[in-house]
Amino acid sequence: MSEDAGKLRLDKWLWFARFFKTRTLAAARVAAGDVRVNGTRVTKRSSTIAPGDMLTFAIGEHVRVIEVAALGTRRGPAPEAQTLYTDHSAPPPPRETPVPQNPGYEGKGRPTKKDRRQADLSRSRHLE
């Protein structure tokens, strides 16, 4: 039995856990130095991780802080992948839904038939 029996390559685990769509993308992010293992920046794709290690990396504008819970043996479905880690990331800020800008209707959205009739009446009074 080898020394690395309880360890797995970092790029492979990131792919197993479905943080990256392909193993090549995961390896490229590791090689670029975008991933930290236990607070230390890692640039070797073949770096090994074990359960209990903390990973920090950014996906888009969201920084993920992940604790490795299990190593896994394959890239399975998403529910299976979610059992491989514990997410310690801060929740993303809530999205603000834009209010449609429709002048004359104070943000109520699309005018109703009643609103259109009143607008037509007010326009015809201005023409007289």
The answer to pTM > 0.85 is: no
For residue 11, give the amino acid letter. D
- Span 50-109, pLDDT tens digits: 999 999 999 888 899 999 999 989 999 999 999 999 999 888 778 777 665 555 555 567
For residue 41, the cross-strand partners are 36
Domain locations in the chain?
3-87
Give SS3 for 62.
Answer: strand
68 backbone dihedrals φ, ψ, rounded to 5°: -75, 120
pLDDT of residue 115: 84
Q: What is the pLDDT of residue 106?
A: 58
- Tell me the residue type at 76: G
**In contact, 14 and 73? CB cutoff 8 Å:** no
Residue 60: what pLDDT?
Answer: 84
64 residue type, one letter: R
Q: What is the pLDDT of residues 7-33, one digit of tens each?
A: 899 999 999 999 999 999 999 999 999
Whole-number Cα distances in Å, 34 to 27, 65, 102, 123: 10, 13, 44, 61
- For domain 3-87, which CATH number applies: 3.30.70.260, 3.10.290.10, 1.20.1440.230, 3.90.870.10? 3.10.290.10
| pLDDT at site 13 | 95
C-beta neighbour count of 39 within 10 angstroms: 7
